[in-house]
Amino acid sequence: MTERVVPWLEADEGPSALPEPTAALSYPNGLLAAGGALTPEWLLGGYRRGIFPWYSDGDPILWWSPDPRAVFDPLTFTPSKSLGQSMRNRGYETRKNTAFGEVIRACAAPRAYADGTWITEEMIAAYETLHRLGHAHSYETWAADTLVGGLYGVRVGRVFFGESMFSQARDASKVALARLMADARQQGIALVDCQMPTPHLASLGALTLPRADFLRRLEPLVQTDFAGSLRE
């Protein structure tokens, strides 16, 4: 059997050089290409086609489109009973886009269950640029004046592409997720992408879609760009 090699992309080629997602490898699941750049043009061009960057420090930029895909439907998202209790009783306050840099750095912090991080300094800088341009957003959970949980991601059209979340207090990241879902329903976001399916996401109500179904749903939803106010 001939070993498949993913293509190398030059930064000056632009995101149109990204292969079709269906060309991604089965193992590792979804690996599509290497190289390119983390400019807003590359990132937004990738997201519009269901492709995202994910790589470890010291590696080249790697682009992925896994099969299947984990997503939330904001219209059917329902907080669990225990999450509802945390939202009511723990004194948490949710905010949007008041501490984007703090959220992404907290997501990049070492985890007890993982070695290293894929949120490199290069990635942080790239998403902070997207944030300044109005495309990347953070949802935050605060206890008094302390940031205790949150998530960040990118909005393109009627899709929110979730990137990572963190929690330093009980249910803090889940509370931020619930705020995202509430905003999504109000603002017409029809799909929240979570990239790779995991048991944790499934426990929160994430659905698993074959890549072909995900891409069919994605295409009409990203046709109109929307960069929400950084302070909405």
pLDDT tens, residue by residue, 194-219: 999 999 999 999 999 999 999 999 99
Q: What is the pLDDT of residues 75-132, one digit of tens each?
A: 999 888 888 787 887 889 999 999 999 999 999 997 654 555 689 999 999 999 999 9
pLDDT, averaged across the chain: 91
Same domain assignment for residues 31 and 124: no
Same domain assignment for residues 93 and 178: yes
The alpha helices in the chain, defined as continuous H runs, are 40-48, 81-89, 100-108, 121-132, 172-187, 199-203, 211-221
Same domain assignment for residues 60 and 150: no
Same domain assignment for residues 30 and 95: no
Same domain assignment for residues 160 and 185: yes
Flag whether 3 is in a domain. no
Same domain assignment for residues 35 and 148: no
Flag whether 232 is in a domain. no
Same domain assignment for residues 199 and 149: yes
Domain limits at 21? 8-66
Domain holding 82: CATH number? 3.40.630.70
Instruction: Report the number of distinct structural domains present in the chain.
Output: 2
Q: What is the pLDDT of residues 25-41, one digit of tens each?
A: 999 999 999 999 999 99
Same domain assignment for residues 48 and 126: no
pLDDT range class, residue 232, cuts 50, 70, 90: very low
Same domain assignment for residues 80 and 164: yes
Same domain assignment for residues 53 and 96: no
Alpha carbon distance 224, 156 (integer Å): 8
What is the pTM for the complete model shown? 0.92
Flag whether 122 is in a domain. yes
Alpha carbon distance 42, 16 (integer Å): 8
- Which phi and psi angles does 219 have, rounded to 5°? -50, -50
User: Residues 6 or more apart from 35 whose CB is under 8 A from it?
Assistant: 8, 9, 10, 11, 60, 61
DSSP single-letter state for residue 60 = P
Q: Is the pLDDT of residue 65 over 80?
A: yes
Alpha carbon distance 84, 182 (integer Å): 13
Same domain assignment for residues 50 and 109: no
